[in-house]
């Protein structure tokens, strides 16, 4: 974010806090920073704020802005500041002060409102002209669920009215793209929380056809890139997860045991142990490495009810998984290869921008030696750097068995979505005693790379829906062409056109209902079908079809053969760069 905008928003958060203190004097202050889309301030209040309160606070803010109070910076000795905020009963400010090491701290003041703050601020409240309070939400003090929950008010501020309006418009736009709404309207999928359980996806025919196109492309790309496809079962005896360490380190996400012939089984939360079992069925030579097993593996994980979200966060999902057994000295090279492969596939689906994150060892809940972790983290880092990609460090964000690289894609609205993940693992090979025979004829331990490109098919589909607003490119669209007849007189011709398109392998539908042309067009357009083909008397006479392209309206009349040639050309899958 631009520095000045950050200052403006931070100032807005102070004005909001002062308004809250005026209206609710007992509210204790938490923190109130500027964030990417605006700002927030946390308050400890007896009663949570209501939307009506928000309006009152906003009005009070406007009043303060009108009065144009100057912001003043006051320097205070830390101990003095502690005393100052203790007397005001601002316990959270005191807590922050206890952790500040500087001898002197700055405090910003306007209209009798004092806040511990590094600053800087705009010179007076009157500079914050275009703002809006957006939402109230609970938020744990310091983001820790063990702490008290405070009430957070979100808002945003801009320098101009136009920018504010554009921001609000973009929010509306995002709502229209919501994959949950589009998923229902376009009959892609449904969720049946009451009857079947929350977080479980039912793929309807329209969604399923898109999924199968995605999966077909994925399979073909993997076979061409040195992977072997496998299938493994969805349940396994508990002892498999004892060996893998999931039971110890991942049980909070695993569903409870079921007994089969008195033997405890679990439904799988990950696919890795199964892949390792296949690897271990024979002795492998270093010549076979890197050995790459890929599976569209469906897993089930317990996710807390409050985090479930459409297709993006679910309880049962299919990972486009692969496990690569690789010699230590080839790890970096293999990671680069995987990164290139991932990005090439994501690009095929129309994503251009990516952001990489290197996630390091978690504070608690990790297995293996710290030294190995550091080595692995360096190997991943080297791979990213050698591939020439920008990245950020996600401190403590690794899986329990190793560090990872996450790839997020940027969608049409500039939002980031987590897709690919490349995870480094030196623990499972140890636990399962995985080895290969090296050049010297000795047993050697390989490293294991877990990786997914889409992440989960469900999530990726959700991201695709939002990216394309449900209007998929021709090759991905569930229905690619809809043929409309204008009257029953030309139904035979329309049927003929439909049959010939269908025979060529294009996904086509015929709308022969006896309703107005306008109505048929409207429906075809609302279903976001790429081509609507209209057959009337004029077309029949010439062997033509009239074409409507989704979102572009009437594109005129061309011969059927020409149209067929065109859509067959357009139907080819995008080519991969790897």
Using CB under 7 A as the binding rule, the residues of this chain from 476 to 495 that contact RNA are 486-489
435 contacts: CB under 8 Å, gap ≥ 6: 284, 429, 443, 444, 445, 446
Chosen residue from 522, 559, 562, 573 binding RNA by CB under 7 A: 522
Q: Which of 447, 446, 456, 449 is nearest to 335 (CA)?
A: 449
DSSP state of 437: E
Q: Which of residues 313-352 bind RNA (CB under 7 A)?
A: 313-315, 317, 319
Cis peptide upstream of residue 159 (ω within 30 degrees of 0): no
Tokens of 489: 């007189």
For the CB of residue 463, give the shortest distance to RNA in the complex, in Å.
10
Cβ–Cβ < 8 Å for 78, 103: yes
Size of the site for RNA (CB under 7 A): 74
Three-state secondary structure of 490-523: HHHHHHHHHHHHHHCCCCEEEECCCCCHHHHHHH
Handedness of CA 84, 87, 93, 94 (dihedral sign): positive
Q: Which of 479, 515, 514 is nearest to 498 (CA)?
A: 479
- Among 74, 258, 526, 568, which residue interacts with RNA (rule: CB under 7 A)? 526
Interface region with RNA, contact rule CB under 7 A, candidates 59-67, 97-105, 144-152, 371-379? 144-152
Considering only 55, 170, 553, 573, the residue that binds RNA (CB under 7 A) is 553
E strand spans, 72-199: 72-77, 104-110, 113-116, 130-140, 149-158, 189-191
Q: How far is the CB of 273 from RNA (least distance, A)?
A: 16
Q: Which two tokens stand for residue 68?
A: 């144009």
Are 48 and 149 contacting, i.e. CB atoms less than 8 angstroms apart? Answer: no
**Shortest approach of RNA to residue 423 CB, angstroms?**
8
Q: Which residue has the tokens 């008195």?
A: 262
Rule CB under 7 A: choose which of 307, 393, 568, 578 binds RNA: 307
Distance CA 214, CA 221 (A): 11
Nearer to RNA, 152 or 266 (CB): 152
Sign of the Cα torsion 150, 153, 159, 163 reads positive
Least Å distance between CB 147 and RNA?
Answer: 9
Whether the Cβ atoms of residue 426 and residue 372 lie closer than 8 Å to each other: yes
CB 492 to RNA: min, Å: 13
Residues 6+ apart with CB under 8 A from 318: 296, 297, 298, 299, 456, 457, 458
Q: Smaller CB distance to RNA: residue 82 or 301? A: 301
Residues with Cβ < 8 Å from 251, sequence gap 6 or more? none
Q: Could you say which of 1, 74, 393, 515 contacts RNA (CB under 7 A)?
A: 515
The residue (of 118 and 171) whose beta carbon lies closer to RNA is: 171
Which residue, among 396, 389, 316, has the nearest Cα to 354 in the 3D structure? 389
Residues 42-71 that bind RNA (CB under 7 A): 48, 50
543 is an interface residue for RNA by CB under 7 A:
no
Provide the minimum distance between the beta carbon of 40 and RNA in the complex, in angstroms, as a whole number.
8
Interaction between residue 452 and RNA (CB under 7 A): yes
In the bound state with RNA, the residue whose beta carbon lies nearer, of 127 and 187, is: 187
Interface pick for RNA out of 90, 334, 425, 458 (rule CB under 7 A) = 458
Q: Which residue, 292 or 315, is less far from RNA as judged by CB?
A: 315
Q: Are 480 and 507 in contact (CB under 8 A)?
A: yes
Site for RNA in 267-306 (CB under 7 A): 301, 303-306
Interface residues for RNA in 178-217 (CB under 7 A)? Answer: 178, 180, 184, 191, 193-194, 197-199
Question: What is the C-alpha separation between 139 and 514, in angstroms, rounded?
Answer: 56
Kindly indicate which of the ranges 95-103, 312-320, 337-345, 427-435 contains the residues binding RNA, using the contact rule CB under 7 A: 312-320
- Choices 87-95, 205-213, 234-242, 548-556 (CB under 7 A): range interacting with RNA: 548-556
CB of 274 to RNA, least distance (A): 17
Q: Is 419 in the site for RNA (CB under 7 A)?
A: yes
Q: Which of 234, 439, 519, 542 binds RNA (CB under 7 A)?
A: 519
SS3 267: strand
Residues in the chain: 578
By CB under 7 A, is residue 514 in contact with RNA?
yes
CA distances to 348, 396, 419 from 390, in Å: 21, 19, 16
- Does 36 sit near RNA (CB under 7 A)? no
Residue from 93, 459, 467, 482 that binds RNA (CB under 7 A)? 459
Q: Which of 33, 70, 138, 505 lies at the binding interface for RNA (CB under 7 A)?
A: 138
Q: Which stretch binds RNA (CB under 7 A): 88-96, 239-247, 382-390, 537-545?
A: 537-545
Which C-beta is closer to RNA: that of 81 or that of 133?
133
**Which stretch, 240-248, 256-264, 436-444, 516-524, contacts RNA (CB under 7 A)?**
516-524
226 with 292: CB under 8 angstroms? yes
d(Cα 537, Cα 543) in Å, to the nearest integer? 10
Q: Does 413 bind RNA (CB under 7 A)?
A: no
- Residue 31 and residue 447: Cα distance in Å, rounded? 44
22 or 303, CB closer to RNA? 303
Work out which of 397, 416, 475, 571 binds RNA, going by CB under 7 A: 397
309 lies in the binding site for RNA (CB under 7 A): yes
| Interface segment toward RNA; rule CB under 7 A; list 7-15, 19-27, 76-84, 549-557 | 549-557
Q: Which is nearer to RNA, 122 or 533 (CB)?
A: 533
Which residue, 125 or 546, has its beta carbon nearer to RNA? Answer: 546
Does position 13 interact with RNA (CB under 7 A)? The reply is no
Out of 536, 560, 563, 567, the only residue in the binding site for RNA (CB under 7 A) is: 536
């Amino acid at each position: 974010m631009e520095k000045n905008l950050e200052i403006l928003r931070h100032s807005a958060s102070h004005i909001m806090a002062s308004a809250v203190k005026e209206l609710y004097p007992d509210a204790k202050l938490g923190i109130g920073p500027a964030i990417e889309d605006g700002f927030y301030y946390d308050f400890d209040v007896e009663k949570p704020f209501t939307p009506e309160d928000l309006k009152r606070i906003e009005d009070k803010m406007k009043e303060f802005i009108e009065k144009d109070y100057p912001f003043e910076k006051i320097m205070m000795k830390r101990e003095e500041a502690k005393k100052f905020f203790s007397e005001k009963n601002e316990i959270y400010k005191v807590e922050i002060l206890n952790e500040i090491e500087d001898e002197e701290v700055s405090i910003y003041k306007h209209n009798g409102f004092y806040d511990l703050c590094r600053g800087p601020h705009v010179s007076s409240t009157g500079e914050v002209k275009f703002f809006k309070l957006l939402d109230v939400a609970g938020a744990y003090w310091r983001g820790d669920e063990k702490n008290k929950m405070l009430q957070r008010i979100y808002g945003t501020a801009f320098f101009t009215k136009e920018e504010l309006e554009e921001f609000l418009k973009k929010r509306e736009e995002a709502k229209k793209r919501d994959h949950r709404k589009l998923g229902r309207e376009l009959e892609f999928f449904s969720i049946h929380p009451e009857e079947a359980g929350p977080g479980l996806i039912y793929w309807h025919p329209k969604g399923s056809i898109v999924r199968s196109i995605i999966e077909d492309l994925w399979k073909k790309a993997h076979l061409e890139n040195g992977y072997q496809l496998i299938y493994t079962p969805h349940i396994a005896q508990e002892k498999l997860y004892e060996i893998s360490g999931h039971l110890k380190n991942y049980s909070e996400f695993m569903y409870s045991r079921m007994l089969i012939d008195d033997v405890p089984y679990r439904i799988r939360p990950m696919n890795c142990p199964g892949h390792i079992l296949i690897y271990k069925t024979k002795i492998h030579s270093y010549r076979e490495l890197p050995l790459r097993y890929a599976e569209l593996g469906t897993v089930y994980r317990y996710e807390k009810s409050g985090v479930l979200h459409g297709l993006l966060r679910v309880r049962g999902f299919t990972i486009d998984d692969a496990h690569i057994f690789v010699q230590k000295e080839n790890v970096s090279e293999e990671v680069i290869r995987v990164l290139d492969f991932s990005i090439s596939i994501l690009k095929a689906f129309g994503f251009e921008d990516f952001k990489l994150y290197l996630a390091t060892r978690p504070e608690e809940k990790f297995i293996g030696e710290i030294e190995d972790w550091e080595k692995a983290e360096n190997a991943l880092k080297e791979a990213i750097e050698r591939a020439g990609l920008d990245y950020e460090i996600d401190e403590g964000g690794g899986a329990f068995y190793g560090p990872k690289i996450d790839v997020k894609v940027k969608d049409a609205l500039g939002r980031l979505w987590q897709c690919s993940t490349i995870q480094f693992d030196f623990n499972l090979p140890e636990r399962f005693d995985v080895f290969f025979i090296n050049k010297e004829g000795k047993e050697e331990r390989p490293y294991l790379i877990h990786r997914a490109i889409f992440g989960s098919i469900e999530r990726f589909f959700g991201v695709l829906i939002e990216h394309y607003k449900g209007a998929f490119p021709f090759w991905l669209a569930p229905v690619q062409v809809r043929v409309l007849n204008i009257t029953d007189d030309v139904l035979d011709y329309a049927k003929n056109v439909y049959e010939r398109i269908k025979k060529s392998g294009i996904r086509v539908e015929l709308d022969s209902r006896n309703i107005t042309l306008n109505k048929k067009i409207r429906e075809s357009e609302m279903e976001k079908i790429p081509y609507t083909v209209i057959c009337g008397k004029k077309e029949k006479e010439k062997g033509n079809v009239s074409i409507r392209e989704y979102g572009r309206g009437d594109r005129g009349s061309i011969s059927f053969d020409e149209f067929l040639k065109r859509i067959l050309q357009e139907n080819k899958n995008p080519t991969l760069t790897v």
